Amino acid sequence: MCCHYTIQFCFRYVYRNHYPASCYIISVECTELYA
- State the pLDDT at residue 11: 60
Residue range(s) defining the domain that contains residue 18:
2-33
Q: How many domains does the chain have?
A: 1
Per-residue confidence (pLDDT) for residue 35, from 0 to 100: 47
Residue 14 has phi, psi (to 5 degrees) of -70, -40
Share the mean pLDDT of the chain: 58
Percent of the chain with pLDDT over 70: 0
pTM of the model: 0.24
Per residue in 17-30, pLDDT (tens digit) is 666 555 566 566 66
Packed helices 2-17 and 20-33: angle between N→C axes, nearest 10 degrees: 170
Q: Decide if pLDDT at 34 tops 60.
A: no
